[in-house]
């Protein structure tokens, strides 16, 4: 029944997915990241295994009605940086706003970036996603803010050029593997925020160790526009030219949680 939620009503997801209602002891995501963070000098850069290499086989880009997901096969893993285990990389996906409004999920000092990319990694001891969702640290998601400049990001083109092939839910296309590192910021990868939270889509499981990198990825205005105009939730939306926009969940309270920062 995952098909039955839409982004614009994330306040009411709990009607169908009870764990999406924020209760007082909940550890929900996303949150606002601000100056009330605890600096933790022992948090070093994460080890991103296989990210520099071109993996064999092929990857799959698909539209799940809520986002565009690049399934990356095996061969990549993340560890270190205070993570409790090794996590295998399974997919990455995006959250965006509209042609004139920003759509990152996390905010920094209340500032929302144009987009946010999530690299989803599953703790290696778990056989599948549903097992990981029962573990408070079952997933490690690496979040990257995406900001906009005039110049195209040629590496990002591996994905943005394929968007028209996955216009609506259920559509998928093959993507030739490329080094994932080419999408990531070139410097200051040791600067990030860390907190414990949840999936930002139903079932909203509190199973995620979040890492939000401080330095954004830069793409062009036209690459951003491809996300906000070429992706549709359903085939009917595509026929009516009603693009999928604002696929981010509303901000939740930190409550008693502490956000640590490796940032000086
Ligand atoms: O939105 C994604 C969803 O597509 C799925 O990937 C889920 C579990 O892998 O994670 C959420 S999110 O919390 O990474 N936004
Ligand atoms: Zn996400």
Q: Pairing mode, if any, of strands 87-96 and 111-112? A: unpaired
pTM recorded for the entire structure: 0.96
Q: Grade residue 263 by pLDDT with cuts at 50, 70 and 90.
A: confident
pLDDT at 217: 98
Strand partners, 195: 210
Are the CB atoms for 40 and 260 separated by under 8 Å?
A: yes
E strand or H helix at 89: strand 87-96
ipTM value of the model? 0.95
Structure tokens at 222: 């036209």
d(CA 58, ligand 2 centre) in Å: 22
CA gap 24, 77 in Å, rounded:
34
pLDDT at 109: 95
Ligand 1 contacts CB of residue 205 (under 6 A): no
Among 13-17, 38-42, 52-56, 197-201, where is mean pLDDT lowest?
A: 13-17
pLDDT at 9: 78
pLDDT at 60: 98
pLDDT tens digits for 136-160?
Answer: 999 999 999 999 999 999 999 999 9
Ligand 1 contacts CB of residue 249 (under 6 A): no
pLDDT tens digits for 65-83?
Answer: 999 999 999 999 999 999 9
Residue nearest to atom 15 of ligand 1 (CA): 200
Ligand 1 contacts CB of residue 201 (under 6 A): yes
CA 148, distance to chain mean position in Å, is 17
Burial of 192 (0-12, 13-18, 19+ CB in 10 A): buried
DSSP 8-state symbol, 218: E
| Mean pLDDT value of segment 1-9 | 61
Which one, of 142, 154, 143, lies nearest residue 218 by Cα? 154
The values of phi and psi at residue 87, to 5°, are: -125, 130
CA gap 221, 152 in Å, rounded:
8
Q: Grade residue 17 by pLDDT with cuts at 50, 70 and 90.
A: confident
pLDDT at 26: 79
Q: Does the active-site annotation cover 58?
A: no
pLDDT at 37: 85
Ligand 1 pocket: which of 103, 199, 246, 247 to mutate (most atoms within 8 A of CB)? 199
Which one, of 238, 233, 241, 235, lies nearest residue 9 by Cα? 233
pLDDT tens digits for 204-232?
Answer: 999 999 999 999 999 999 999 999 999 99
DSSP 8-state symbol, 256: T
Q: How many CB atoms lie within 10 A of CB 232?
A: 23
What's the chain's average pLDDT?
Answer: 93
């Amino acid at each position: 029944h995952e098909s039955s939620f839409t982004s614009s009503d994330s306040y009411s997801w709990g009607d169908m997915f009870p764990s999406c209602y924020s209760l007082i002891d909940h550890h929900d995501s996303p949150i606002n990241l601000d100056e009330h963070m605890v600096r933790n000098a022992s948090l070093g850069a994460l080890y991103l295994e296989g990210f520099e290499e071109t993996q064999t086989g092929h990857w799959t880009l698909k539209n799940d009605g809520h986002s565009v997901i690049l399934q990356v096969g095996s061969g990549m893993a993340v560890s270190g940086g205070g993570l409790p285990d090794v996590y295998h990389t399974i997919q990455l996906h995006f959250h965006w706003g509209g042609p004139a409004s920003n759509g990152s999920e996390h905010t920094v000092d209340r500032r929302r970036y144009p987009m946010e990319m999530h690299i989803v990694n599953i703790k290696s001891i778990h056989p599948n996603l549903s097992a990981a969702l029962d573990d408070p640290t079952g997933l490690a998601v690496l979040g990257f803010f995406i900001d906009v400049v005039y110049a195209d990001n040629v590496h990002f083109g591996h994905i943005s050029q394929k968007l028209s092939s996955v216009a609506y839910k259920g559509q998928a296309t093959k993507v030739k593997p490329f080094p994932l590192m080419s999408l990531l910021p070139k410097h200051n990868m040791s600067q990030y925020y860390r907190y414990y939270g949840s999936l930002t889509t139903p079932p909203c499981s509190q199973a995620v160790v979040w890492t939000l990198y401080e330095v954004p990825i830069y793409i062009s205005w036209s690459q951003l526009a491809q996300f906000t105009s070429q992706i549709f939730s359903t085939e009917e939306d595509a026929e009516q030219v009603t693009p999928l926009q604002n696929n981010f969940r509303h901000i939740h309270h930190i409550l008693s949680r502490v956000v640590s920062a490796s940032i000086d």
